[in-house]
């Protein structure tokens, strides 16, 4: 930067006694108060390209080098990369934004014959102990008449919601519930690697990086699907090959990340990976159920 103040004695930002061109306490550069417009533009470009380089240094290893970012974090090399929790937030938000565009794919249709039969059944069974509730022309369920008033009120609200609206509510709740899953998986890793001298926070960082990778893979698959539908240049089979390749890479990536981070044998790593896959799949299903229950609770 130009226009340095050689005689500046104290930092104008924090008041620390200066020992060079940058404040050793807050990092602010020693420059004039009156800035030219060109200097502001240069600062903007510098900030942009600095951030861009950090993005490249983070996302390329995240995609192509399993376990590398976690090892770098454990080694203390952190400033050059996006912080793990910030990376998790970015990839999760981006992924769920893309998922929110899937409403039309998640709708359930009901045939006119089914609708007519439902109407006939409800008219013939008015005196029965059960009543039917229709969920927005898409889902039909039965509820006992002796339910609590609070639960019946929930069912009344459910009857006014369509399936796509419930999907949206579930998607809104899923990131919150999924975030609770991260420390649980970190605890599972801690139990799996009790003999390793790795702190719990490092296990947590490993989980954040793996989950960020999964969000990134899912986002890529959805983007490819969207682009394939919007710009039908390539045949469907080519897109299916690309998506299959991404899924296979995800399956290979995770055990490679475990081996890179924890440095155990290939056989032991694969065994632990399969067990972790079962645990993670079970917890993910419970997470989705919990997210759906959360959305019903806040109706």
CA dist., res. 180 & res. 205, Å (int) = 14
Could you give phi then psi for residue 266, rounded to 5 degrees? Answer: -65, -45
Stronger pLDDT, 212 or 15, i.e. the higher one: 212
Among 289, 299, 82, residue whose Cα is nearest residue 178: 289
Task: Give alpha helix (H) positions in the chain.
Answer: 37-64, 68-74, 84-99, 112-124, 149-159, 163-192, 200-230, 236-262, 266-297
Model confidence pTM above 0.85: no
Which residues pair with residue 158 across a beta bridge? none
pLDDT digits (tens, 9 = 90+) for 140-152: 545 455 556 666 6
pLDDT at 87: 92
CA dist., res. 52 & res. 46, Å (int) = 10
Give the other-Cβ count within 10 Å of 86's Cβ: 13
Which one-letter DSSP state was computed for residue 146? T
| Average pLDDT taken over every residue of the chain | 75
**25: pLDDT confidence band, cut at 50, 70 and 90?**
confident
pLDDT digits (tens, 9 = 90+) for 267-294: 999 999 999 999 988 988 887 787 777 6
CA dist., res. 224 & res. 241, Å (int) = 11
Q: CB of 214 within 8 A of CB of 243? A: no
Stronger pLDDT, 288 or 5, i.e. the higher one: 288
Q: Compute, in degrees rounded to 10, the torsion defined by CA atoms 198, 199, 203, 208.
A: -130
Tokens of 113: 């014959």
Tokens of 73: 């974090």
DSSP 196-223: S---HHHHHHHHHHHHHHHHHHHHHHHH
**91: pLDDT confidence band, cut at 50, 70 and 90?**
very high
CA dist., res. 142 & res. 132, Å (int) = 5
Among 29, 28, 26, residue whose Cα is nearest residue 2: 29
Cα 109 versus chain centre, distance:
29
pLDDT digits (tens, 9 = 90+) for 119-166: 554 454 444 444 444 444 444 545 455 556 666 666 566 565 555 566
């Amino acid at each position: 930067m130009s226009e340095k103040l050689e005689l500046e004695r104290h930092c104008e930002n924090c008041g620390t006694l200066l020992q060079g061109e940058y404040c050793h306490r807050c990092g602010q550069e020693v420059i004039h108060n009156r800035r030219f417009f060109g200097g502001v533009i240069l600062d903007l470009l510098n900030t942009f390209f600095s951030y861009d380089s950090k993005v490249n240094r983070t996302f390329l290893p995240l995609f192509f080098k399993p376990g590398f970012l976690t090892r770098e974090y454990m080694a203390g090399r952190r400033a050059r990369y996006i912080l793990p929790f910030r990376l998790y937030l970015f990839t999760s938000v981006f992924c769920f934004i893309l998922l929110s565009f899937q409403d039309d794919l998640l709708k359930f249709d009901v045939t006119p014959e089914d609708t007519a039969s439902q109407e006939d059944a409800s008219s013939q069974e008015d005196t029965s102990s059960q009543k039917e509730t229709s969920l927005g022309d898409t889902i039909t369920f039965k509820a006992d008449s002796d339910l609590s008033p609070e639960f019946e009120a929930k069912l009344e609200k459910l009857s006014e919601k369509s399936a796509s609206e419930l999907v949206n509510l579930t998607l809104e709740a899923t990131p919150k519930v999924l975030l609770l899953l991260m420390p649980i998986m970190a605890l599972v890793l801690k139990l799996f690697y009790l003999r390793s001298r790795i702190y719990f926070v490092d296990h947590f960082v490993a989980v954040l990086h793996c989950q960020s990778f999964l969000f990134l893979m899912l986002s890529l698959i959805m983007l490819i699907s969207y682009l394939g539908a919007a710009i039908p240049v390539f045949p469907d089979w080519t897109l299916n090959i690309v998506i299959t390749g991404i899924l296979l890479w995800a399956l290979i990536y995770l055990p490679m990340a475990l081996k890179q981070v924890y440095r155990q044998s290939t056989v032991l790593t694969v065994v632990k990976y399969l067990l972790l896959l079962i645990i993670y799949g079970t917890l993910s299903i419970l997470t989705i159920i919990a997210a759906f229950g959360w959305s019903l609770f806040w109706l």
